[in-house]
Amino acid sequence: MKPKIGVLGSGKGSNLAAVCRKIETGELDAEIGLVISDVKDAGILQLARDQGVPAMWVDPGSQKGGRLSDAAIMEITGQLKNAGVELVVLAGFMKIVRGELLETFSGRMVNIHPSLLPKYKGLAAWKQALEAGESEAGCTVHFVAAGVDSGEIIEQARVPIFDGDTADTVHARIQQQEHELYSRVIGEVLRRLRAGN
CA neighbours closer than 13 Å in the CB half-sphere of residue 176 = 9
Q: Give the residue numbers marked as catalytic.
A: 113
Is the bond leading into 118 cis (omega within 30 degrees of zero)? yes
The answer to whether 45 and 128 are in contact (CB under 8 A) is no
193, 86 in Cβ contact below 8 A?
yes
3-state DSSP percent of the chain in helix, strand and coil, to 5: 40, 20, 40
Asked if 35 and 58 count as a contact pair (C-beta separation under 8 A), the reply is: no
